[in-house]
Protein backbone atom coordinates (compact mmCIF):
# COMPACT_ATOMS: atom_id res chain seq x y z
CA UNK A 1 0.00 0.00 0.00
CA UNK A 2 1.15 3.52 -0.79
CA UNK A 3 2.84 4.91 2.31
CA UNK A 4 1.46 8.41 1.70
CA UNK A 5 -1.94 7.37 3.03
CA UNK A 6 -2.28 8.21 6.69
CA UNK A 7 -5.93 7.26 7.29
CA UNK A 8 -7.15 3.69 6.97
CA UNK A 9 -10.56 2.03 7.35
CA UNK A 10 -11.27 -1.65 6.73
CA UNK A 11 -14.76 -3.20 6.70
CA UNK A 12 -16.44 -6.44 5.70
CA UNK A 13 -19.45 -5.48 3.62
CA UNK A 14 -21.80 -8.22 4.84
CA UNK A 15 -25.27 -8.10 3.28
CA UNK A 16 -25.49 -5.43 0.58
CA UNK A 17 -28.92 -4.19 1.63
CA UNK A 18 -29.71 -0.54 1.06
CA UNK A 19 -32.97 0.81 2.40
CA UNK A 20 -34.42 3.30 -0.05
CA UNK A 21 -36.72 5.89 1.40
CA UNK A 22 -39.55 8.10 0.28
CA UNK A 23 -40.41 10.91 2.62
CA UNK A 24 -44.00 12.12 2.61
CA UNK A 25 -42.79 15.52 3.75
CA UNK A 26 -41.32 18.00 1.29
CA UNK A 27 -38.08 19.76 2.07
CA UNK A 28 -35.28 17.44 0.97
CA UNK A 29 -32.17 19.35 -0.01
CA UNK A 30 -31.24 18.11 -3.46
CA UNK A 31 -28.79 19.29 -6.09
CA UNK A 32 -28.56 19.94 -9.78
CA UNK A 33 -26.19 16.96 -10.01
CA UNK A 34 -28.75 14.53 -8.58
CA UNK A 35 -31.51 16.01 -10.71
CA UNK A 36 -29.44 15.49 -13.87
CA UNK A 37 -28.50 11.92 -12.90
CA UNK A 38 -32.13 11.00 -12.14
CA UNK A 39 -33.34 12.33 -15.49
CA UNK A 40 -30.62 10.45 -17.40
CA UNK A 41 -31.33 7.28 -15.42
CA UNK A 42 -35.07 7.39 -16.12
CA UNK A 43 -34.44 8.11 -19.80
CA UNK A 44 -31.80 5.43 -20.38
CA UNK A 45 -33.68 2.65 -18.61
CA UNK A 46 -37.13 3.59 -19.91
CA UNK A 47 -38.68 4.12 -16.49
CA UNK A 48 -42.15 5.59 -16.45
CA UNK A 49 -42.11 6.80 -12.84
CA UNK A 50 -39.65 7.23 -9.98
CA UNK A 51 -41.46 4.35 -8.30
CA UNK A 52 -39.89 2.02 -10.88
CA UNK A 53 -36.47 2.64 -9.30
CA UNK A 54 -37.23 0.08 -6.60
CA UNK A 55 -37.33 -2.68 -9.23
CA UNK A 56 -34.23 -1.61 -11.13
CA UNK A 57 -30.88 -3.37 -10.72
CA UNK A 58 -27.58 -2.30 -12.29
CA UNK A 59 -24.74 -4.82 -12.40
CA UNK A 60 -26.85 -6.99 -10.13
CA UNK A 61 -27.18 -4.26 -7.50
CA UNK A 62 -30.19 -2.29 -6.39
CA UNK A 63 -30.26 1.47 -6.25
CA UNK A 64 -29.84 3.46 -3.04
CA UNK A 65 -32.00 6.57 -3.00
CA UNK A 66 -33.99 8.99 -0.87
CA UNK A 67 -36.51 11.47 -2.26
CA UNK A 68 -39.47 13.49 -1.07
CA UNK A 69 -42.97 13.76 -2.49
CA UNK A 70 -41.78 16.44 -4.89
CA UNK A 71 -39.33 13.90 -6.31
CA UNK A 72 -36.33 15.85 -5.05
CA UNK A 73 -33.48 13.43 -4.40
CA UNK A 74 -31.14 13.79 -1.46
CA UNK A 75 -29.39 10.49 -2.29
CA UNK A 76 -29.15 8.49 -5.50
CA UNK A 77 -26.61 5.85 -6.48
CA UNK A 78 -25.80 2.16 -6.86
CA UNK A 79 -26.00 0.35 -3.53
CA UNK A 80 -22.43 -0.38 -2.45
CA UNK A 81 -22.74 -0.27 1.35
CA UNK A 82 -25.18 -1.64 3.92
CA UNK A 83 -26.93 1.26 5.61
CA UNK A 84 -25.29 0.53 8.97
CA UNK A 85 -21.85 0.89 7.35
CA UNK A 86 -22.46 4.30 5.79
CA UNK A 87 -21.86 6.13 9.06
CA UNK A 88 -18.64 4.24 9.74
CA UNK A 89 -17.31 4.93 6.23
CA UNK A 90 -18.60 8.50 6.36
CA UNK A 91 -21.98 9.37 4.85
CA UNK A 92 -20.49 11.94 2.48
CA UNK A 93 -17.89 9.48 1.14
CA UNK A 94 -20.35 6.57 0.90
CA UNK A 95 -22.93 8.69 -0.91
CA UNK A 96 -20.26 9.97 -3.29
CA UNK A 97 -19.02 6.49 -4.22
CA UNK A 98 -22.56 5.22 -4.83
CA UNK A 99 -23.49 8.32 -6.84
CA UNK A 100 -20.21 8.34 -8.78
CA UNK A 101 -20.58 4.70 -9.81
CA UNK A 102 -24.14 5.28 -11.02
CA UNK A 103 -23.05 8.36 -12.96
CA UNK A 104 -20.13 6.38 -14.41
CA UNK A 105 -22.45 3.63 -15.65
CA UNK A 106 -24.70 6.22 -17.29
CA UNK A 107 -21.71 7.95 -18.90
CA UNK A 108 -20.37 4.61 -20.15
CA UNK A 109 -23.77 3.84 -21.67
CA UNK A 110 -23.35 7.08 -23.65
CA UNK A 111 -19.73 6.28 -24.55
CA UNK A 112 -18.45 9.23 -22.51
CA UNK A 113 -16.98 7.71 -19.37
CA UNK A 114 -13.29 8.28 -20.16
CA UNK A 115 -13.63 12.08 -20.59
CA UNK A 116 -15.81 12.23 -17.46
CA UNK A 117 -13.14 10.44 -15.43
CA UNK A 118 -10.57 12.89 -16.75
CA UNK A 119 -12.82 15.83 -15.83
CA UNK A 120 -13.20 14.52 -12.27
CA UNK A 121 -9.54 13.41 -12.04
CA UNK A 122 -10.78 9.95 -11.05
CA UNK A 123 -9.17 6.57 -11.73
CA UNK A 124 -10.86 3.16 -11.86
CA UNK A 125 -9.02 -0.15 -11.68
CA UNK A 126 -10.23 -3.74 -11.91
CA UNK A 127 -7.69 -6.25 -10.62
CA UNK A 128 -5.16 -3.38 -10.82
CA UNK A 129 -5.94 -2.90 -14.55
CA UNK A 130 -6.80 0.74 -15.41
CA UNK A 131 -10.17 1.47 -16.98
CA UNK A 132 -9.96 1.97 -20.74
CA UNK A 133 -7.28 -0.64 -21.29
CA UNK A 134 -8.10 -3.65 -23.53
CA UNK A 135 -8.67 -5.89 -20.49
CA UNK A 136 -10.95 -3.42 -18.64
CA UNK A 137 -13.36 -1.63 -20.90
CA UNK A 138 -16.65 -2.46 -19.17
CA UNK A 139 -17.41 -0.95 -15.76
CA UNK A 140 -19.63 -3.95 -15.03
CA UNK A 141 -16.47 -6.06 -14.60
CA UNK A 142 -15.38 -3.88 -11.71
CA UNK A 143 -18.79 -3.49 -10.08
CA UNK A 144 -19.47 -7.23 -10.30
CA UNK A 145 -16.35 -7.73 -8.16
CA UNK A 146 -18.22 -6.17 -5.20
CA UNK A 147 -20.31 -8.67 -3.25
CA UNK A 148 -21.39 -9.53 0.29
CA UNK A 149 -18.03 -11.03 1.31
CA UNK A 150 -15.88 -8.23 -0.10
CA UNK A 151 -13.65 -6.30 2.27
CA UNK A 152 -13.78 -2.54 1.88
CA UNK A 153 -10.57 -0.59 2.41
CA UNK A 154 -10.57 3.22 2.46
CA UNK A 155 -7.31 5.16 2.59
CA UNK A 156 -6.58 8.83 2.11
CA UNK A 157 -4.10 11.61 2.59
CA UNK A 158 -4.73 15.35 2.32
CA UNK A 159 -5.12 15.21 -1.47
CA UNK A 160 -6.48 11.83 -2.55
CA UNK A 161 -8.86 9.06 -1.51
CA UNK A 162 -8.45 5.43 -2.52
CA UNK A 163 -11.44 3.07 -2.12
CA UNK A 164 -10.74 -0.64 -2.56
CA UNK A 165 -13.05 -3.64 -2.60
CA UNK A 166 -10.98 -6.81 -2.06
CA UNK A 167 -11.91 -10.49 -2.25
CA UNK A 168 -10.30 -13.73 -1.08
CA UNK A 169 -9.63 -14.78 -4.68
CA UNK A 170 -7.44 -11.62 -5.02
CA UNK A 171 -9.95 -9.91 -7.32
CA UNK A 172 -10.38 -6.21 -6.60
CA UNK A 173 -12.01 -2.98 -7.67
CA UNK A 174 -10.42 0.39 -6.94
CA UNK A 175 -11.66 3.99 -7.16
CA UNK A 176 -9.23 6.89 -6.68
CA UNK A 177 -10.57 10.41 -6.44
CA UNK A 178 -9.48 13.85 -5.20
CA UNK A 179 -10.31 15.00 -1.67
CA UNK A 180 -12.28 17.86 -3.22
CA UNK A 181 -15.45 18.97 -1.45
CA UNK A 182 -17.39 20.06 -4.56
CA UNK A 183 -16.73 16.69 -6.22
CA UNK A 184 -17.52 14.62 -3.12
CA UNK A 185 -20.61 16.56 -2.11
CA UNK A 186 -21.82 16.80 -5.70
CA UNK A 187 -22.69 20.47 -5.41
CA UNK A 188 -21.10 23.75 -6.42
CA UNK A 189 -20.27 26.48 -3.92
CA UNK A 190 -23.48 28.42 -4.56
CA UNK A 191 -25.60 25.37 -3.74
CA UNK A 192 -23.51 24.55 -0.68
CA UNK A 193 -23.62 28.11 0.67
CA UNK A 194 -27.39 28.36 0.19
CA UNK A 195 -28.05 24.99 1.78
CA UNK A 196 -25.79 25.56 4.78
CA UNK A 197 -27.99 28.40 6.02
CA UNK A 198 -31.10 26.25 5.63
CA UNK A 199 -29.51 23.37 7.52
CA UNK A 200 -28.26 25.61 10.34
CA UNK A 201 -31.68 27.15 10.89
CA UNK A 202 -33.52 23.81 10.74
CA UNK A 203 -30.98 21.76 12.70
CA UNK A 204 -32.42 19.81 15.61
CA UNK A 205 -29.52 19.11 17.94
CA UNK A 206 -28.78 15.48 18.70
CA UNK A 207 -25.14 15.26 19.69
CA UNK A 208 -23.52 11.97 18.67
CA UNK A 209 -20.15 12.61 20.28
CA UNK A 210 -19.94 12.00 24.05
CA UNK A 211 -19.39 15.01 26.33
CA UNK A 212 -15.76 16.02 26.61
CA UNK A 213 -14.51 14.67 29.97
CA UNK A 214 -12.78 16.83 32.53
CA UNK A 215 -9.00 16.41 32.28
CA UNK A 216 -6.70 15.18 35.00
CA UNK A 217 -4.66 17.81 36.77
CA UNK A 218 -1.36 16.36 35.58
CA UNK A 219 -2.14 17.12 31.90
CA UNK A 220 -2.93 20.79 32.54
CA UNK A 221 -0.51 23.67 32.20
CA UNK A 222 -0.60 26.77 34.37
CA UNK A 223 -1.83 29.96 32.76
CA UNK A 224 -2.71 33.35 34.18
CA UNK A 225 -4.92 32.33 37.13
CA UNK A 226 -6.33 29.40 35.17
CA UNK A 227 -5.28 26.03 33.80
CA UNK A 228 -4.82 25.13 30.13
CA UNK A 229 -5.30 21.87 28.33
CA UNK A 230 -3.25 22.24 25.18
CA UNK A 231 -4.95 21.20 21.97
CA UNK A 232 -3.84 21.10 18.37
CA UNK A 233 -3.04 24.16 16.25
CA UNK A 234 -4.09 25.12 12.73
CA UNK A 235 -1.19 26.54 10.69
CA UNK A 236 -0.12 28.90 13.52
CA UNK A 237 0.09 28.46 17.29
CA UNK A 238 -2.43 31.24 17.98
CA UNK A 239 -5.16 29.31 16.11
CA UNK A 240 -5.72 26.29 18.34
CA UNK A 241 -8.12 23.99 20.17
CA UNK A 242 -6.97 24.82 23.69
CA UNK A 243 -9.48 24.54 26.53
CA UNK A 244 -9.38 26.25 29.92
CA UNK A 245 -10.09 25.17 33.49
CA UNK A 246 -9.87 26.23 37.12
CA UNK A 247 -9.66 24.52 40.48
CA UNK A 248 -12.60 24.87 42.83
CA UNK A 249 -12.02 25.72 46.51
CA UNK A 250 -12.30 21.99 47.18
CA UNK A 251 -9.67 21.17 44.56
CA UNK A 252 -11.98 19.89 41.83
CA UNK A 253 -11.25 20.67 38.16
CA UNK A 254 -13.97 22.82 36.57
CA UNK A 255 -14.50 24.40 33.17
CA UNK A 256 -13.51 28.07 33.23
CA UNK A 257 -16.51 30.39 33.04
CA UNK A 258 -15.42 33.79 34.31
CA UNK A 259 -16.02 37.33 33.05
CA UNK A 260 -12.41 38.22 33.92
CA UNK A 261 -11.33 35.67 31.28
CA UNK A 262 -13.85 36.34 28.55
CA UNK A 263 -11.72 35.06 25.67
CA UNK A 264 -10.97 31.75 27.39
CA UNK A 265 -14.62 31.37 28.39
CA UNK A 266 -15.80 31.98 24.84
CA UNK A 267 -13.31 29.40 23.55
CA UNK A 268 -14.63 26.85 26.03
CA UNK A 269 -18.21 27.35 24.86
CA UNK A 270 -17.26 26.05 21.41
CA UNK A 271 -15.95 22.79 22.93
CA UNK A 272 -18.02 22.22 26.04
CA UNK A 273 -21.76 21.46 25.96
CA UNK A 274 -22.47 24.19 28.51
CA UNK A 275 -26.11 25.12 29.32
CA UNK A 276 -25.08 28.78 29.01
CA UNK A 277 -24.62 28.28 25.26
CA UNK A 278 -28.39 27.81 24.90
CA UNK A 279 -28.92 31.38 26.13
CA UNK A 280 -26.29 33.02 23.91
CA UNK A 281 -27.69 34.09 20.56
CA UNK A 282 -25.64 34.56 17.39
CA UNK A 283 -26.73 37.10 14.82
CA UNK A 284 -24.99 35.69 11.76
CA UNK A 285 -24.28 37.56 8.55
CA UNK A 286 -23.53 34.78 6.09
CA UNK A 287 -21.42 35.96 3.15
CA UNK A 288 -22.11 33.61 0.26
CA UNK A 289 -21.08 32.97 -3.31
CA UNK A 290 -21.57 35.84 -5.75
CA UNK A 291 -21.48 38.52 -3.01
CA UNK A 292 -24.88 37.35 -1.76
CA UNK A 293 -25.65 37.57 1.95
CA UNK A 294 -28.11 36.02 4.37
CA UNK A 295 -28.89 36.80 7.99
CA UNK A 296 -30.24 34.53 10.69
CA UNK A 297 -30.38 34.24 14.45
CA UNK A 298 -29.50 30.95 16.15
CA UNK A 299 -28.15 29.91 19.53
CA UNK A 300 -24.48 29.20 20.10
CA UNK A 301 -25.49 25.71 21.25
CA UNK A 302 -27.25 25.06 17.94
CA UNK A 303 -24.18 26.13 15.97
CA UNK A 304 -21.70 24.03 17.97
CA UNK A 305 -24.02 21.01 17.83
CA UNK A 306 -24.26 21.34 14.02
CA UNK A 307 -20.46 21.27 13.71
CA UNK A 308 -19.98 18.66 16.45
CA UNK A 309 -19.57 15.73 14.06
CA UNK A 310 -17.12 15.65 11.16
CA UNK A 311 -15.34 18.92 11.98
CA UNK A 312 -12.29 19.95 13.98
CA UNK A 313 -12.75 23.31 15.71
CA UNK A 314 -9.96 25.90 16.12
CA UNK A 315 -10.21 29.33 17.75
CA UNK A 316 -7.98 32.38 17.65
CA UNK A 317 -8.40 35.95 18.85
CA UNK A 318 -7.66 39.15 17.00
CA UNK A 319 -5.74 41.91 18.73
CA UNK A 320 -8.38 44.28 20.10
CA UNK A 321 -8.61 46.78 22.93
CA UNK A 322 -10.67 45.98 26.02
CA UNK A 323 -13.56 45.43 26.45
CA UNK A 324 -13.92 44.43 22.79
CA UNK A 325 -13.49 40.76 21.99
CA UNK A 326 -13.04 39.39 18.47
CA UNK A 327 -12.69 35.65 17.91
CA UNK A 328 -12.11 33.80 14.65
CA UNK A 329 -13.39 30.22 14.65
CA UNK A 330 -12.61 27.61 12.02
CA UNK A 331 -14.71 24.49 11.56
CA UNK A 332 -12.38 22.25 9.57
CA UNK A 333 -13.67 19.27 7.59
CA UNK A 334 -10.54 17.19 7.11
CA UNK A 335 -12.30 14.59 4.96
CA UNK A 336 -13.01 16.99 2.12
CA UNK A 337 -10.47 19.76 2.81
CA UNK A 338 -12.70 22.75 3.39
CA UNK A 339 -13.31 25.11 6.29
CA UNK A 340 -16.12 27.31 7.53
CA UNK A 341 -14.89 30.50 9.17
CA UNK A 342 -16.90 32.40 11.77
CA UNK A 343 -15.85 35.79 13.08
CA UNK A 344 -17.43 36.66 16.44
CA UNK A 345 -17.34 40.27 17.61
CA UNK A 346 -18.68 41.08 21.05
CA UNK A 347 -18.03 42.52 24.47
CA UNK A 348 -17.67 40.51 27.64
CA UNK A 349 -20.91 41.97 28.99
CA UNK A 350 -22.90 40.50 26.10
CA UNK A 351 -21.27 37.11 26.55
CA UNK A 352 -22.18 36.89 30.24
CA UNK A 353 -25.59 38.59 30.14
CA UNK A 354 -27.37 36.52 27.50
CA UNK A 355 -26.71 39.12 24.84
CA UNK A 356 -26.54 38.76 21.07
CA UNK A 357 -23.12 38.20 19.53
CA UNK A 358 -22.50 39.74 16.10
CA UNK A 359 -21.00 37.16 13.72
CA UNK A 360 -19.83 36.92 10.13
CA UNK A 361 -19.71 33.53 8.42
CA UNK A 362 -17.72 32.51 5.35
CA UNK A 363 -18.46 28.94 4.30
CA UNK A 364 -16.81 26.24 2.18
CA UNK A 365 -13.38 27.80 1.94
CA UNK A 366 -10.77 25.51 0.33
CA UNK A 367 -7.97 24.60 2.71
CA UNK A 368 -5.26 26.17 0.52
CA UNK A 369 -7.05 29.56 0.62
CA UNK A 370 -6.91 29.62 4.41
CA UNK A 371 -3.13 29.35 4.52
CA UNK A 372 -2.86 32.69 2.72
CA UNK A 373 -4.77 34.45 5.50
CA UNK A 374 -2.20 33.77 8.18
CA UNK A 375 0.46 35.93 6.56
CA UNK A 376 -1.92 38.86 7.05
CA UNK A 377 -2.53 37.77 10.63
CA UNK A 378 1.17 37.73 11.47
CA UNK A 379 1.57 41.27 10.10
CA UNK A 380 -1.59 42.91 11.49
CA UNK A 381 -3.07 40.64 14.15
CA UNK A 382 -6.28 40.53 12.12
CA UNK A 383 -7.77 37.94 9.80
CA UNK A 384 -10.35 40.40 8.41
CA UNK A 385 -10.80 42.06 6.02
CA UNK A 386 -9.36 39.40 3.73
CA UNK A 387 -10.03 38.05 0.29
CA UNK A 388 -11.32 34.53 0.49
Strands 151-156 and 281-287: unpaired
Sketch the domain layout of the chain as residue ranges.
7-185, 189-380
- Greatest alpha-carbon pair distance for the chain in Å reads 76
Q: Which DSSP letter does residue 181 get?
A: H
Residues 322-343: what's their mean pLDDT?
Answer: 90
Within a 13 Å sphere around the CA of 290, how many CA atoms are in the beta-carbon half? 9
This prediction has a pTM of 0.83
Taking alpha carbons only, the member of 199, 222, 227, 218 closest to residue 340 is 199
Taking alpha carbons only, the member of 327, 312, 317, 326 closest to residue 238 is 317
Contact 148, 16 (CB under 8 A): yes
Res 277: pLDDT:
86
pLDDT in tens, 94-150: 999 999 999 999 999 999 999 999 999 999 999 999 999 999 999 999 999 998 889
Report the alpha-carbon angle 42-165-177, nearest 5.
70
Res 371: pLDDT:
65
pLDDT in tens, 160-173: 999 999 999 999 99
Query: Would you say residue 385 has pLDDT above 90?
Result: no
pLDDT in tens, 74-90: 899 999 998 788 888 88
Res 337: pLDDT:
85
Cα 16 to chain center, whole Å?
A: 25
Helices 113-120 + 91-109 axis angle, to 10: 150
Q: Which DSSP letter does residue 329 get?
A: E
Query: Would you say residue 20 has pLDDT above 70?
Result: no
Amino acid sequence: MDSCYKYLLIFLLGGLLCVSAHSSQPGNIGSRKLEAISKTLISQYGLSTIGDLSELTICGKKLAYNHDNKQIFSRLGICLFPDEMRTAVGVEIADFLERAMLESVLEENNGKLKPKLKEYNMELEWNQIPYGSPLFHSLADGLNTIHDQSRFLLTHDSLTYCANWLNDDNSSFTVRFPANYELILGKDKKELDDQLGIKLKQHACTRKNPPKPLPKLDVLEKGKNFLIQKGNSLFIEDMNSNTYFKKSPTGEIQWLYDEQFAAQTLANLFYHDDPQAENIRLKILHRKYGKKTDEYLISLAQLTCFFDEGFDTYIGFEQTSQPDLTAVVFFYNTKTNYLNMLRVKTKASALFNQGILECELHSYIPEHNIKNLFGTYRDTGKLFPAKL
